[in-house]
């Protein structure tokens, strides 16, 4: 469905009905307490969802509705899907996911407004700062206001740090940094806040939890961005830890926890936004592999929880049937990757148990 934004907004408001609020991912504080504590607690669990699979695979939809309190479109709100060209917004996939969430009483997160990944060629070709600011802010205004009152939290800026930053100030080179420099970040947060003042605004990043200077530099960079926004009075509410965990990389517990203490001192929330465990280097045997995957996630969640319980935990997909991992991390033994809570037949794996215990959703 490709329509002018103004027509669609009215239609969508009707289709989505009233405001839906789920836990502190949408701003309501949740109970805090030690990991795996006896006292029950509820942290919303959610997963990234693919619109094409949702349309074609009823069992997949049922698994999402059964297990999740939150969804996030895996691709449906990204620029390449929404903005095939400068003139149009194509909300078809995002609207279908929003309608599914609404029907099933689930909350929705938004991912993402400013990200280098897959930017359409027409946008990447912009060279004028004035045009860049207009295109970025008008995109954010249109997209965020369309789902105002329904999408309660947005990954406003995704992956601002380069893979291997030269300094904490280093930013990834793409159209917005080439034209606007570091200012693209406050511009994006301000635009998102103006479009939905109640939305929780998140700075989302990956590869910050491991041992080594590259990861320390990335943590320092994210803290510097958050601090600078806060110093300037620009709304930011949370840091998103993507947590694409590598099963065979060592977690930097101390580094991660001091990073989280800084975030807590800034009074920002923490969300786990894209959890999965990359199993490319693990043994073939499924039981062995699944146990290592679950343990890695448990260690990570425990380390986070000791400092600041996350206000939501989302995995990047719910089932190994639909996962991005093999795009980059195929296994050399030819077996399929097993990074997610449910296997490819939608049966729960040990990772599902870890998440259910952690979030308090275990039955």
Q: Which residues bind ligand XIL (CB under 6 A)?
A: 74-75, 117, 158, 206, 242, 274, 324
Residue in the structure block whose two tokens are 């895996």: 74
H/E segment holding residue 121 = helix 121-124
Furthest CA-CA distance within the chain: 57
Residue in the structure block whose two tokens are 């203490």: 261
Closest CB 24 distance from ligand XIL, rounded Å: 21
Minimum CB distance to ligand XIL smaller for 117 or for 281? 117
3-state class of 254 per DSSP? helix
Minimum CB distance to ligand XIL smaller for 34 or for 117? 117
Quick check: is 133 catalytic? no
3-state class of 25 per DSSP? helix
**CB count in 10 Å sphere of residue 142:** 19
The answer to whether 352 and 313 are in contact (CB under 8 A) is no
Distance CA 209, CA 308 (A): 15
Closest CB 17 distance from ligand XIL, rounded Å: 28
Minimum CB distance to ligand XIL smaller for 8 or for 111? 111
Catalytic residue among 93, 133, 159, 209: 159
By beta carbon distance, the residue nearest ligand XIL is 324
Quick check: is 159 catalytic? yes
Residue in the structure block whose two tokens are 């960079």: 221
Minimum CB distance to ligand XIL smaller for 31 or for 117? 117
HSE-CB at 286 with a 13 A cutoff on CA atoms is: 12
CA 161 to chain centre: 15
Q: Which residues are catalytic?
A: 159, 274
């Amino acid at each position: 469905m490709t329509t002018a934004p103004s027509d669609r907004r009215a239609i969508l408001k009707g289709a989505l009905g009233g405001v839906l609020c789920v836990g502190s991912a949408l701003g309501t504080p949740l109970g805090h307490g030690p990991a795996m504590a006896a006292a029950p607690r509820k942290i919303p669990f959610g997963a990234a969802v693919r619109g094409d699979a949702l349309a074609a695979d009823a069992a997949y939809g049922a698994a999402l509705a059964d297990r999740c309190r939150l969804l996030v479109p895996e691709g449906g709100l990204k620029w390449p899907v929404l903005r095939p060209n400068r003139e149009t917004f194509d909300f078809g996939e995002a609207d279908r996911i929003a309608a599914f969430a609404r029907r099933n009483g689930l909350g929705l997160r938004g991912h993402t407004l400013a990200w280098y990944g897959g930017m359409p060629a027409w946008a990447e070709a912009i060279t004028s700062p004035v045009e860049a600011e207009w295109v970025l802010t008008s995109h954010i205004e249109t997209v965020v206001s369309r789902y105002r009152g329904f999408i309660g939290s947005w990954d406003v800026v995704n992956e601002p740090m380069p893979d291997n930053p030269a300094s904490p100030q280093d930013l990834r080179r793409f159209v917005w940094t080439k034209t606007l420099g570091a200012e693209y970040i406050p511009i994006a947060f301000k635009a998102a806040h103006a479009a939905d003042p109640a939305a929780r605004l998140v700075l989302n990043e990956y590869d910050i939890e491991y041992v080594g200077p590259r990861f320390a530099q990335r943590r320092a960079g994210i803290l510097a961005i958050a601090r600078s926004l806060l110093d300037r009075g620009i709304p930011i509410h949370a840091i998103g830890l993507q947590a694409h965990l590598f099963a065979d990389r060592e977690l930097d517990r101390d580094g991660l926890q001091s990073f989280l203490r800084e975030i807590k001192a800034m009074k920002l929330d923490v969300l786990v936004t894209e959890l999965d465990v990359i199993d490319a280097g693990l043994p073939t045997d499924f039981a062995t592999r699944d146990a290592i995957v679950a343990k890695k996630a448990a260690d990570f969640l425990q380390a986070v929880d000791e400092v600041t319980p996350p206000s939501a935990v989302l995995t990047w997909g719910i089932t190994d049937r639909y996962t991005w991992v093999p795009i980059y991390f195929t296994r050399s033994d030819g077996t399929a990757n097993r990074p997610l809570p449910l296997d490819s037949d939608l049966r729960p794996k040990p990772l599902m148990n870890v998440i259910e215990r952690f979030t308090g959703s275990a039955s």
